[in-house]
Amino acid sequence: MWKEFKEFALKGQVISLAVGVIIGAGMGKIVDSIVKDLVMPVISAMFGGKIDFSNMFVVLGDAPSGVAPTYDALTKAGVPVFAYGNFITTLINFLLLAVAVFLIVKAVSRAYKETETPAQTAEEVLLLRDIRDSLKK
């Protein structure tokens, strides 16, 4: 069983998948930062001021007295909230991450196609084709 596991774990695809997951996690953090620090401030400026998407929500229940009307405070108090601002931020994160992954996969596949050499036809096959063509004449 150990031998089978070792063969499985050391296959190129498993190692490539592990590297992809690690790089994907790092890329996710980069995309989160891009959205939070670059994209969302530009979007809020386009809408005329300082719009904080994380505090865009609708309270669906009764908030206990003394709880601040912020998303964090309400969720800690167990009040149901419809947090559409967080959804907008997460959607933008996903779209940017999907575009980045698409561009990376496209570049890798293009590089892989360039390094592939077309399969050489065996000399015997070429000889047999010549014989076939000469017999047709």
Question: Is 74 part of any domain?
Answer: no
Question: Is 128 part of any domain?
Answer: yes
Question: Is 87 part of any domain?
Answer: yes
- For residue 82, the SS3 value is strand
Looking at residue 107, its pLDDT comes to 85
The domain spanning residue 97 has which CATH number?
Answer: 1.10.1200
Looking at residue 91, its pLDDT comes to 87
Sole residue written with tokens 């601040």: 68
What pLDDT digit, counting tens, does each position of 1-29 carry?
Answer: 888 877 777 776 777 777 788 888 888 88
What pLDDT digit, counting tens, does each position of 49-87 carry?
Answer: 767 777 788 888 888 888 888 888 888 888 898 989 888
Sole residue written with tokens 């940017």: 96
Closest CA to 35 of 105, 115, 106, 96: 96
Q: Two tokens at 119?
A: 């399969």
Question: Is 62 part of any domain?
Answer: no
Closest CA to 35 of 87, 107, 105: 87
CA 79 to CA 24: how far, in whole Å? Answer: 34
Looking at residue 116, its pLDDT comes to 62
Question: Is 47 part of any domain?
Answer: yes
Could you tell me which residues come within 8 angstroms of residue 52 by beta carbon, excluding any fewer than 6 positions away? 44, 85
Amino acid (1-letter code) at residue 115: T
Q: Two tokens at 110?
A: 């293009």
Question: Is 71 part of any domain?
Answer: no
What radius of gyration, in Å, describes the C-alpha atoms of the chain? 28
Mean model confidence pLDDT for the chain: 81
Q: What is the pTM of this model?
A: 0.57
Question: Is 66 part of any domain?
Answer: no
Looking at residue 118, its pLDDT comes to 65
Looking at residue 117, its pLDDT comes to 62
Percentage of residues in the chain having pLDDT higher than 90: 1
- Read off the pLDDT of each residue in 85-90 and give the average, rounded to a whole number: 84
Range of the structural domain that residue 90 is part of: 2-51+83-136
Question: Is 22 part of any domain?
Answer: yes
- Domain tally, the chain: 1
